[in-house]
Amino acid sequence: MPIATPEVYNEMLDRAKAGKFAYPAINVTSTQTLHAALRGFAEAESDGIIQISTGGAEFLGGQYSKDMVTGSVALAEFAHIVAEKYPVTVALHTDHCPKDKLDGYVRPLLSVSEERVKAGRNPLFQSHMWDGSAETLADNLEIAQELLARAAAAKIILEVEITPTGGEEDGVSHEINDSLYTTVDDAVRTVEALGLGEKGRYLLAASFGNVHGVYKPGNVVLRPDLLKELNEGVAAKYGKPAGSQPFDFVFHGGSGSTAEEIATALDNGVVKMNLDTDTQYAFTRPVADHMFRNYDGVLKVDGEVGSKKTYDPRTWGKLAEAGMAARVVEATQHLRSAGQKIK
């Protein structure tokens, strides 16, 4: 099964939570990086999530118009076709979308899926993210309520980010400070607004010190044990059994995280972990190596003609795909999703 149906996507998330593993959510910006992600999942025998950020959607829309909706719809339609050739199941997701881009990205994409569902088809994307972390929590949740209602009607899962992730992601930036930790009160207010599934399923990007971008281990203080506190606080408030995990958590800003930090996050209910920085490097590193090693071939130096075999994009593109696919395999191993594909 290539692209997950709404029912299968829910099953994927349920299996991850029950099995204490998470799906790598790989940001893609081209058909080439899409194939790299699919290849990595297939080689690891892991299902997974493919996602497109606003910046990625602009890039996919072409530099002439930078139309985010056109770019993301085009790649999603492409994915529905080529994913048929890979023996894994993937879900399509849109990554961080702040308030000022909702009308140019998520809301139009919801309309696309609404029309598809009305016609008896499945939604184009299986989930969308609303990043209201730059807004007050009250405003954030008010918009989330509107989006969740539309998403649920279109058989789509909503991802919400209720408190900031540090660093910068596609123009949304937050300082690295004590505000990067979600409180139990924040979690309770989220449930008061969005419910616990009865209004539609949602994924929660809670903050436990996460930072986007590149950092070395030790430079950021991650507290994945905080996720347990959030689950316990909400479970107690709403009369859920001890040890239950009301939330489906998402791990943002995971570059540089230790194996122990990732394992603790998985044990505490993380079902999705975003990867962008690391896979970008894994894609570009083999290309840089090829260019340095074949300088006289990829360039027409001193009046020479170069070597078509070395500057042919297919030559270095294959290396890039292999490098990124290998990093995706590594991610599935860290997140325990390797070998867990739906049979």
DSSP code per residue over 42-63 = HHHT--EEEEE-HHHHHHHT-T
Over residues 79-95, the pLDDT tens digits come to 999 999 999 999 999 99
Q: What angle do CA 263, 267, 269 make, to 5 degrees?
A: 120
What does 118-143 look like in DSSP terms, one character per residue?
HTT---S-SEEEEE-TTS-HHHHHHH
DSSP tag of 28 = -
Q: What percent of the chain lies above the pLDDT cut of 70?
A: 92
Long-range contacts made by residues 288-291, C-beta under 8 angstroms, separation at least 24? Answer: 289/319, 290/315, 290/316, 290/319, 291/316
Name the helix (H) or strand (E) containing 187. Answer: helix 184-194
Q: What is the pLDDT of residue 177?
A: 47
CA–CA separation, 40 and 149 (whole Å) = 34
pLDDT in tens, 27-62: 999 999 999 999 999 999 999 999 999 999 999 999
- Phi (first) and psi of residue 153, to 5 degrees: -65, -25
CA distance 47 to 29: 20
Element spanning 161, H or E = strand 157-161
Mean pLDDT of 180-189: 92
How far is 109 from 154, CA to CA, in rounded Å? 11
Give the number of other Cβ atoms within 10 Å of residue 330's Cβ. Answer: 18
Are β-strands 157-161 and 167-169 bridged in parallel, bridged antiparallel, or unpaired?
unpaired
In the residue annotation, 95 being an active-site residue is answered as yes
User: Catalytic pick from 14, 47, 67, 95?
Assistant: 95
Residue 214 has pLDDT above 80, yes or no: no
Q: Which of 32, 68, 76 is nearest to 51 (CA)?
A: 76
Where does residue 169 fall: left (phi above 0), alpha (psi -120 to 50 degrees), or beta otherwise?
beta
Scan for tokens 């950020």, then name that residue: 53
pLDDT for residue 167 is more than 50: no
pLDDT at 215: 53
The pLDDT assigned to 256 comes to 73
10 Å CB burial of residue 215 (0-12, 13-18, 19+) is middle
Least confident of 19-23, 180-184, 310-314, 322-326: 180-184
The tens digit of pLDDT for each residue in 247-266 reads 999 998 777 788 999 999 99
Distance CA 213, CA 318 (A): 25
The confidence score (pLDDT) of residue 174 equals: 43
Q: What is the mean pLDDT of residues 133-156?
A: 97
Q: How far is CA 10 from the centre of its chain?
A: 16
Average pLDDT over residues 167-175: 49
pLDDT of the residue at 220: 62
Mention every residue, 6+ apart, whose C-beta is less than 8 A from residue 132: 98, 99, 139, 140, 141, 143, 144, 160, 161, 162
Is 209 a residue whose pLDDT tops 60?
Answer: yes
- Does the pLDDT value for residue 8 go beyond 60? yes
pLDDT value, residue 218: 52
pLDDT, position 253: 78
Q: What is the pTM of this model?
A: 0.93
In angstroms, the Cα distances linking 232 to 142, 190, 197, 235, 260 are 24, 14, 17, 5, 21
Distance of alpha carbon 10 from alpha carbon 153, whole angstroms: 15
Q: Which of 91-105, 220-234, 273-287, 303-317 has the lowest mean pLDDT?
A: 220-234
pLDDT tier, 186 (very low <50, low <70, confident <90, very high otherwise): very high
